[in-house]
Chains A and B, each alone.
Chain A
Amino acid sequence: MNYGSYVVMQDINFRVQPGQVFVIMGGSGCGKSTLLKYLIGLKPVEKGDIYYHGRSFSKASEDEKEQVQRSFGVLYQGGALWSTRTLAENVALPLEEYTKLSDHEIRELTSLKLSLVGLKGFEDFYPSEISGGMRKRAGLARAMSLDPEILFFDEPSAGLDPISSRRLDDLILRLRDSLGTTLVVVTHELASIFAIADTAIFLDAETKRMLVQGDPKELVKEGKSDPKVRTFLLRGQSGEESK
């Protein structure tokens, strides 16, 4: 992973199981969001490869790539809602493009998706008229609109109060449990990591490498992972201090 000649991260190798909540964690500036951009196809892979269902994503033709991307849902850091469209129109656009649903069905489904994220009644609001947390939830409703197989989250808890953050974590788990969706979450929020992650990887900005892969609840135990990972998971405290 690189920006021009500047290498952000190298030697990354991991596998995500279907129906899993997979967390990419690491300190600020370690390349978490950049890795996400590679995973969703926003940045072309120059060295190495990404596989979905055993098929190469980076070597796929444009049509094949689009096909795979249609099975993705992405929640961007700030929601990334289209400012000229209402919340309902934001959620409806993928349905209008890629399904044969009638206008009435799209309206009903849009309303259902917004109610899943607690935004029923805000269908006609524009993104500029709602709070940051609501924008994020509306972004999630849009990401879920086509029932994606894989949902990617870029810092879902960033900028949210603890209660909203907890609710979002609950929603993520319900989506996993109810729909069997695979969730890939980029975050450095420890509470979220421990609450939702089945498996996590840690990216280290210093060595520019992935240090470890495993369940964060196990990784935090002494002797189970790299000291750097433990320090991160213990908010900078050493193992002794935390005792």
Chain B
Amino acid sequence: MRSVVESEGAPAAFAKVSLQEKEATIALGGTWNLKGSVRPKSATTLNEVQSADGITRVRCVGQDLGTWDSSLLLFLSEVDEWCQAHQIALDLHDLPEGVGSLIALAKAVPEAETKSRHAGHVSFLYQLGAWAIGQSSAFTAAATFIGECVLSLMRIATGKGKVDWRLFWLTMQESGFQALPIVGLISFLTGLILAFVASIQLRQFGAGIYVANLVAVAMAREMGAIMTGVIMAGRTGAAFAAQIGSMKVSEEIDALDTLAISPMDFLVSPRVVALFLMMPLLGFYSDLLGIAGGAVVGLGVLHITLLQYWNQTVGSMGLEDIITGVVKSGVFGVIVALTGCQRGMNCQNNAAAVGNAATSAVVLAITWIVASDAIIDVVLDVLKL
């Protein structure tokens, strides 16, 4: 690249073909500029060469060549390919030294025989089979991960596991105290919305006071735990996946392994335990804020007194409702932590995979939160609790 700037008045690039018996000469000249718009096409030039019969040699000369860049190399490499395909000798000796040198460099290393990445047509059955195998592998990986986590917790309980306690307390703080504002806001609004929808229906029957019952039971048994779980899946689960995934990419996990420190003990278990301990507290906090949101509607829209609302709430809710919600929150905490850590630990070795790990951790956690909530409800119903 003598100069890639096409100066005004510089002669345009050209490739002129002259034929003499069995030799074709391509005279290259002018300014060859990748960013310019006018460049000879190798196909046109080669058509001219091909029009003559019995050509055995193509000679490229560059006496009138001005500045040039990769566009000239591109032209010549196409001529070279054509000559090889037609078993015609190519002579580049009359071109500037640098041109021949770069063409030689490009040809110095033969093309690697790599497996073709362009997959042909894939049948539906093949895709279905591949999907099923993928799901089965994912299930096995998840089950193995849970098993390893249980073993890790047992090692820690018996004092044999090496735990990063600083990480444990940090996770407690990040997933506990620092989550209070967002959990509080969402829970308050959830309670408010529940009360508002209920008030529209119940007022028609003169049963507006029962809004307090509905909000209290719904928040305590279901919505407090679910909303906290969903928020923590998006906030903390994604962070776990991204943090551990990045550590995988930068070989920090390998470094722990080679020191015979189990990454499960050091990185995963502290997070699982921290979230398991904090989530019930957050769930209970969510219940309170949700009930407060309902009270705002009760007082503001239904004109119930605060004492009436309070009495109605306390009267409608049993200890078992609160315990149900708190237990669910604990379960959801374990789900969020496990999915986040598992996706991070199984992350591939590149930046895009870290993003995918965070996304799939959130989706999987929310799916399992809703599914496990349904399972717990069915079990509690069967047990008449």
Contact = CB atoms under 8 A, between A and B. Distances in A.
Interface stretch (A112-120, A201-209, A230-238): A112-120
A83 B352 contact: yes
Interface in B7-55: 34-35, 37
B35 A98 contact: yes
Output the residue of B69, B73, B353 with the most chain A CB within 10 A. Answer: B73
B351 A101 contact: no
A171 B35 CA distance: 24
Interface string A72-109: 00000000000110000000000100111100010011
A116 B1 contact: no
Given A112-B74, A121-B111, A147-B1, A174 B350 contact: no
B351 A83 contact: yes
Interface residues of A, number: 37
A83 B349 CA distance: 10
Interface stretch (A2-10, A29-37, A178-186, A215-223): A178-186
Interface string B95-126: 00111011001111111111011100000000
A121 B34 contact: no
A38 interface: no
Contacts of A149: 1, 3-4
A57 B98 CA distance: 31
B40 to A, nearest CB: 12
A63 interface: no
Contact of A121 (B102, B107, B112, B353): B112
A124 B102 contact: no
A112 B73 contact: yes
A125 B112 CA distance: 12
A146 interface: yes
Contacts, number: 95
A122 B112 contact: yes
Contacts of A174: 101-102, 105
Interface in A159-200: 171, 174, 177-181
B77 interface: yes
B243 interface: no
A13 interface: no
A126 B348 CA distance: 13
Contact of A118 (B77, B108, B113, B116): B108
A177 B70 contact: no
A127 interface: yes
A146 B107 CA distance: 20
Contacts of B106: 112, 115-116, 120
B101 A177 contact: yes
B78 A118 contact: no
Nearest to A180: B2
B77 A84 contact: no
B321 to A, nearest CB: 48
Interface in A117-173: 118-122, 124-128, 144, 146-149, 171
Contacts of B35: 98-100, 146
Contacts of B351: 83-84
Output the residue of A108, A146, A171, A178 with the most chain B CB within 10 A. Answer: A178
Given A99-B34, A113-B70, A146-B35, 15 more contacts: A83-B351, A83-B352, A98-B35, A100-B37, A108-B78, A112-B74, A115-B107, A115-B109, A116-B105, A120-B110, A124-B116, A128-B350, A179-B2, A179-B69, A180-B2
16 contacts: A83-B350, A83-B351, A84-B352, A98-B35, A109-B34, A109-B74, A112-B73, A112-B77, A116-B102, A121-B111, A121-B114, A127-B350, A128-B348, A128-B353, A178-B101, A180-B98
Interface of A: 71, 83-84, 95, 98-101, 105, 108-109, 112-113, 115-116, 118-122, 124-128, 144, 146-149, 171, 174, 177-181
Interface of B: 1-4, 34-35, 37, 69-70, 73-74, 77-78, 97-99, 101-102, 105-114, 116-118, 348-353
